[in-house]
Chain A
Amino acid sequence: MSWFFTGPFLYAAALLFLAGTAYKIISISRMPRHLRWELYPLPRLGAAGSRYQQVDHGRSPREISRLAEIGVMAEEILLLKKLFANRRDLWFGSYLLHVGLYFSIAGFGLVLTEAVLVSAGLAAAPASGSLAARVLGEVVIVAGIGGSAAGLFGAAFLLARRLTDPGLRDMSDPVTFFNLAFLVVLFASGLLAWTADGPLEQVRTHMASLLRGRPGVVPSTSLALAMTLSGLFAAYLPFSRMFHFAAKYFFYHRILWDDEPMHGGTAIQRDFAGYLRYPLTWSGEHLQPRKAWSEQLSSRDDAHQG
């Protein structure tokens, strides 16, 4: 059983994670462009601010500071700045939770990279005891223990807040509680596994075996449990609201910071011309059922009757 969950199941989970992520990102990207809906300030406009502050704004060159934009993104990703500024009481818990995730993912990424390099003959096997392998091992352990502890504390704090703060409790649906409880269990299992005897060697060995396509059995029960739960989490992630980490890109770059004006002959214009050909099926009396948007918009005389 343990072999199944730390072997075939993990392959399936990884596949689900990748397929789910690709599916979600592709389906969001394929949504139609929308009418402009930006929200100021737009970081990349820098100190000059909105172009609409200028006479003949369409004629002046657009100065864009990608650096300023990246700075704001970094503050958000690394420090959760908006939460810090506007909901300080949740920030610490949320920050620990996110740091826990970052550390755990980093630890996983390091072990995976090492296993790939070893299997490609580009690095010495961990058993060789090389300096690089030892340093990496230490880093992974610190990331594993630190990440799990931070994540556990953060998730437990947020869950406790949510259960005790009436406002948060009332606005939470059952899934919100489920997600936090899942994170608590996930990080707790991680902490258990990393603080047990010799998890690093087992993780390295197992990762190598997974890469070879011949998964072995993970001797430690706590590690097997942590791996199973991690797989479950990875498979669930793209389909859950926790996928906001990826959705945020679209929130900001495609909506709140998108002030791209339309120019003739561009893809934007072609797309919009296409949307206006869609038939509309809203039933309001002031609309003409099943006629294309373009016809609805040129039908002012009908609308006059009200």
Chain B
Amino acid sequence: MPRVPVKDFGSDTPVLSPLEPERLTQLPADAEPRAPMPPRDAWLEKYDFSLDGFSALGLPLPKTAEEEERIVSGFLRGLAKLFTRENNWAFLLPTALSTDYCMRCNTCNAACGVYEASGRQDVYRPNFRSELLRRIYRRYFSPQGKLLGKWTGAPELNWRVVYRLAELAYRCTLCRRCAGVCPVGVDNGLLCRELRKLFSMEMGIAPAALHKSGTVRHLATGAGTGMKPAAFLDNLEFIEEIIEEKTGKRIRIPVDKKGAEILLVHNSGEYLSWPENPAAFAIVFDAAGIDWTLSSASMGYEAVNYGLWYDDVQYARIAMAQVEAARRLGVKKIVVGECGHATKAIVTIADRLLSGDLRIPRESCLPLLEEIVAGGRVRLDPWRNDFPVTLHDPCNMVRLMGIVSPQRNILTRILPPGRFREMPSNGTENYCCGGGSGFAIMDAYNFPEWRNRVASRKKAQQVLTAFGDCLDPSVPKYYCAPCSNCKGAAREALMDCYRFRERYNILYGGLVELIANAMAELPGPFLSWETEF
């Protein structure tokens, strides 16, 4: 097994740690996708693929020594700023402690789905990128480092180190599973995010999907998808039609209702990719008599906040603008639909940024859905969901917010006995879907290949294990992922790459759709294995 010591990270081998498909963990033979596509020659001439043969960032190869020098000096400048109060008060303490107190015990390694799925390739160890960060920081910014020089174990700093490190910051889903097992409390996920931040905030390096067509577009148009208010309203009309088709009843989705009890905010991708999800919310809320509204104001109908994954300023700009939209509407509280990162971004991470009249209560939709289901506010017939269901725990809502029981309490009430099966490693010990930290929407160059094969691999294994006794396609099965990004990853990896739908007849979707499907008052099933919405 080729080894990559940290100090050799800047070596001039064309590809430092090529992903070796034969080392990936085993899946059942029929679940293995076709052979991976190598990067195109045209890309290789222009962009850096030298970490593992994949590129998430499309970093243009430097052409002159000055360009190389600029890359290195920009990185060092950013690294210094990462440890200053003025530039990084938002995460200085966790960054400094995680930098200083790792014991190099590698306990975190086995906890990482990426590292495990890759067949334990050195560069994907959770502490590998952290170790680079801390060794380089020590070497260049501490008195001992200046004395010890290469005895710090830091690689010779060159543009390759910087570019590879930037790419490596996008080989971690920020799931923080590793932090949960670290005996010290070191958080490699956090350090990875800090690296991303350094690259974005100092060097302008970030995946286009997160920055240019992510947060920048979000702030410019009001939604990460670029959906303008008029298009949003059109989508709602379409959803009302779906609802009428499914229920035989015309529901008027409340929009911009001043002073409503609840402002429900979805990931705007739902309207485009999974309209059945906002439709199911409308059906359930309407039947339960909830006083709710959507907002058609710019920033008011978009829950995502991609800034969370790579840039503090973009993050805070979006969070504050979203809450401001709710304030203008005078709602009593904000409830975030089925989107994990969006829930965490606005409920907990933004908590200390919001003051004065922006302190509007904010919560996840899951406890509310639990209250509706458990409180008998809709009539349910669990036998309408008479098929095996397994549940994915979105990291952001489960490990990072502790929301574990509501979704389970719902499932036990809306499924017949014995139909719900947990995945191995569930709850706060779950594995990421592979789409975390932006991966679900990052589709540049050959990055999706890496995401599907490596980052989502563990989830593929878990789903197959959960349905191990009924994989035969004659049995319809439901993979319940109450999060838009997790559904995005399911679509790309589990369905398109591993072809779970064709091979095993596994349908994926959210939780609220299952609730709607169990509603006794609906004339027929809400979910369908035959037709798409």
Taken together as a complex, chains A and B put the C-alpha atoms of A284 and B212 apart, in Å, by: 13
- Distance of A90 from chain B, by nearest CB (Å): 6
Q: State whether B104 touches A272 (Cβ < 8 A).
A: no
Chain B residues, CB < 8 A from A51: 402
The answer, among B5, B212, B313, B353, for a CB contact under 8 Å with A287, is B313
Q: State whether A52 touches B364 (Cβ < 8 A).
A: yes
Taken together as a complex, chains A and B put the C-alpha atoms of A46 and B119 apart, in Å, by: 37
Taken together as a complex, chains A and B put the C-alpha atoms of A269 and B356 apart, in Å, by: 10
- Can you name 13 A-B residue pairings with CB atoms under 8 Å? A31-B92, A37-B94, A39-B179, A39-B399, A40-B402, A50-B401, A50-B402, A82-B183, A85-B181, A254-B93, A268-B352, A284-B203, A296-B316
| CB interface residues, B 317-331, toward A, < 8 Å | 317, 320-321
Q: Which of A40, A259, A281, A283 has the most CB of B within 10 A?
A: A40
Taken together as a complex, chains A and B put the C-alpha atoms of A273 and B153 apart, in Å, by: 40
B378 within 8 A of A: no
B103 within 8 A of A: yes
Q: What is the size, in residues, of chain B's interface with A at 8 Å between Cβ atoms?
A: 98
Q: State whether A272 touches B364 (Cβ < 8 A).
A: no
Q: State whether A87 touches B200 (Cβ < 8 A).
A: no
Q: Interface 1/0s, chain B 206-242, versus A by CB < 8 A? A: 0000011000110110000000000000000000000
B403 within 8 A of A: yes
Taken together as a complex, chains A and B put the C-alpha atoms of A82 and B107 apart, in Å, by: 9
B496 within 8 A of A: no
B487 within 8 A of A: no
A54 within 8 A of B: yes
Q: State whether B92 touches A171 (Cβ < 8 A).
A: no
Which of these binds chain A: B43-51, B79-87, B274-282? B79-87
Q: State whether B87 touches A251 (Cβ < 8 A).
A: no
Q: State whether A173 touches B104 (Cβ < 8 A).
A: yes
Q: SS class of chain B's interface: helix, strand, loop or mixed?
A: helix
Q: State whether A83 touches B367 (Cβ < 8 A).
A: no
Q: State whether A250 touches B401 (Cβ < 8 A).
A: no
Q: State whether B103 touches A241 (Cβ < 8 A).
A: yes
A172 within 8 A of B: yes
Interchain Cβ contacts within 8 Å, total number: 266
B21 within 8 A of A: no
| CB interface residues, B 348-400, toward A, < 8 Å | 348-356, 359, 361, 363-364, 366-368, 371, 398-400
Q: State whether B185 touches A248 (Cβ < 8 A).
A: yes
Which of these binds chain A: B122-130, B448-456, B523-531? B122-130
- Distance of B368 from chain A, by nearest CB (Å): 5
- Distance of A2 from chain B, by nearest CB (Å): 29
- Distance of A80 from chain B, by nearest CB (Å): 6
Chain B residues, CB < 8 A from A297: 313, 316-317, 320, 353
Closest B residue to A256 using CB positions: B185
The answer, among B92, B128, B201, for a CB contact under 8 Å with A284, is B201
Taken together as a complex, chains A and B put the C-alpha atoms of A83 and B404 apart, in Å, by: 25
Taken together as a complex, chains A and B put the C-alpha atoms of A145 and B109 apart, in Å, by: 35
A86 within 8 A of B: yes
The answer, among B94, B183, B354, for a CB contact under 8 Å with A80, is B183
Closest B residue to A167 using CB positions: B106
Given A166-B3, A168-B106, A170-B5: A37 and B101 interface contact (C-beta under 8 Å) = no
Closest A residue to B372 using CB positions: A55
A62 within 8 A of B: no
Closest A residue to B356 using CB positions: A264
Tell me the A residues contacting B by CB distance below 8 Å: 28, 31-42, 45, 49-58, 76, 80, 82-83, 85-87, 90, 94, 166-168, 170-176, 241, 243-244, 247-248, 250-252, 254-256, 259, 261-262, 264, 268-269, 272-273, 275, 278-287, 293, 296-300, 303-306
Q: State whether B212 touches A279 (Cβ < 8 A).
A: no
Q: Which 8 A-B pairs have the closest CB atoms?
A: A50-B402, A251-B185, A40-B402, A173-B153, A306-B216, A282-B201, A32-B89, A87-B107
Chain A residues, CB < 8 A from B27: none
Q: State whether B402 touches A53 (Cβ < 8 A).
A: yes
The answer, among A35, A50, A300, for a CB contact under 8 Å with B321, is A300
Q: State whether A273 touches B355 (Cβ < 8 A).
A: yes
Chain A residues, CB < 8 A from B106: 87, 167-168, 171
Taken together as a complex, chains A and B put the C-alpha atoms of A208 and B466 apart, in Å, by: 67
- Distance of A140 from chain B, by nearest CB (Å): 29
- Distance of A172 from chain B, by nearest CB (Å): 5
Taken together as a complex, chains A and B put the C-alpha atoms of A87 and B131 apart, in Å, by: 19
Taken together as a complex, chains A and B put the C-alpha atoms of A52 and B362 apart, in Å, by: 10
Q: State whether A300 touches B317 (Cβ < 8 A).
A: yes
Given A31-B93, A34-B91, A49-B402: A56 and B85 interface contact (C-beta under 8 Å) = no
Taken together as a complex, chains A and B put the C-alpha atoms of A174 and B150 apart, in Å, by: 10
B141 within 8 A of A: no
Chain A residues, CB < 8 A from B4: 170
Chain A residues, CB < 8 A from B368: 55
Q: Interface 1/0s, chain B 455-498, versus A by CB < 8 A? A: 00000000000000000000000000000000000000000000
B406 within 8 A of A: yes
Q: State whether A284 touches B6 (Cβ < 8 A).
A: no
Chain B residues, CB < 8 A from A248: 101, 184-185
Taken together as a complex, chains A and B put the C-alpha atoms of A90 and B135 apart, in Å, by: 24
Taken together as a complex, chains A and B put the C-alpha atoms of A132 and B491 apart, in Å, by: 73
The answer, among B181, B187, B217, B313, for a CB contact under 8 Å with A306, is B217
